[in-house]
Amino acid sequence: MNLYTFASPVNFYHLSGKLIPWFTWSAVLLTVAGLYISFFVAPTDFQQSEAYRIIFIHVPAAWMSMFIYMVMAFWGAIGLAFNTRLSFMMARALAPTGAIFTFIALWTGAWWGKPMWGAWWVWDARLTSELILLFLYVGIIALWSAIDDVKRGDRAGALLTLIGAINVPIIYFSVKWWNTLHQGASINLMKAPSMAKIMLIGMLVMAIAAWLYTIAVALVRVRGIILERERQSEWVKAILEREA
């Protein structure tokens, strides 16, 4: 038995079934811990007062929106290069969650921008490139659902994902390359180093929770996709006998 064993859908189906509860419950625990830090441990910001507490979801959501896209691009590239079935399924399973985190990043950004900048939205490089990321997610999902042939759909989606991947470094470096209203790396936001630390810890806990959540929901989704695609096989018939 080696790592490649789990590249086969049947083994992966069973392995992921065992892993999902672990990811789910650790995500729940870390979310509770993260929210506790966000509201009851982290002190008031000296400049932004309590409004800054949006950071504990805004920054992890923005990180996730970019990470998930890169992971999708990775699976797409693997799928295109080695024609592995499971990698395309993983890419499809991740996209909706990536789109949701992108929306959350934009939404919380708007609700932070309004009190701090006086505007819900500005066409600045960071915000615009993040909006393009949302359109990429939506476009990739739409492309998949528009192509009935699963294999062609997989390849077209992976190709679009890879082309769009150029946008991720643009989002990341936009605050450096252009003069944006959006502030630079979030750690510079805080002046007192002691404050920075607990805020950073809060952000990291929420980010890890977001990761675990993403893995849990992506695994649930990929299991559905596996069943759908392998429905002719005997093992799926046996599972349906039990689970449906």
Partner 1 sequence: MKQPPYFLHSFPPKGRSPLLGLPGWRSDMEWASWSDFWNMGGYGLYVWGSYGVTAVCILIEVMFLKRSAGDTRRRLKRMQQWEEQ
Residue 148 token pair: 């009935």
Query: What is the Rg, in whole angstroms, of the alpha carbon atoms belonging to the chain?
Result: 20
Q: How far is CA 148 from the centre of its chain?
A: 26
Rounded least distance, CB 43 to partner 1, Å: 6
CB of 166 to partner 1, least distance (A): 27
Considering the complex, state which of residue 34 and residue 164 has its C-beta at the smaller distance from partner 1. Answer: 34
What are the tokens at 97? 């969650």
Backbone φ, ψ for residue 49 (5° rounding): 55, -135
Question: Closer CB to partner 1, residue 151 or residue 231?
Answer: 231
- Looking at beta carbons only, is 5 or 44 nearer to partner 1? 44
Smallest gap from residue 162 Cβ to partner 1 (A): 25
Residue 203 amino acid letter? M
Contacts of 135 (CB under 8 A, 6+ apart): none
The residue among 38 and 87 lying less far from partner 1, judged by its C-beta, is: 38
Give CA–CA dist 223/227, Å, rounded.
6
- The DSSP call for residue 37 is I
Closest CB to partner 1 among 87 and 108? 108
- Residue 87 burial (CB count, 10 A): 22
Q: How far is the CB of 123 from partner 1 (least distance, A)?
A: 21
Residues contributing to the site for partner 1 (CB under 8 A): 36, 39-41, 43-44, 49-51, 53-54, 57-58, 61, 96-97, 100, 103-104, 107-108, 111-112, 114-115, 193-195, 197-198, 213, 217, 220-221, 223-224, 227-228, 231, 236-237, 240, 243-244
**8 A C-beta contact, residue 100 and residue 65:** no
Give min distance, CB of 138 to partner 1, in A: 15
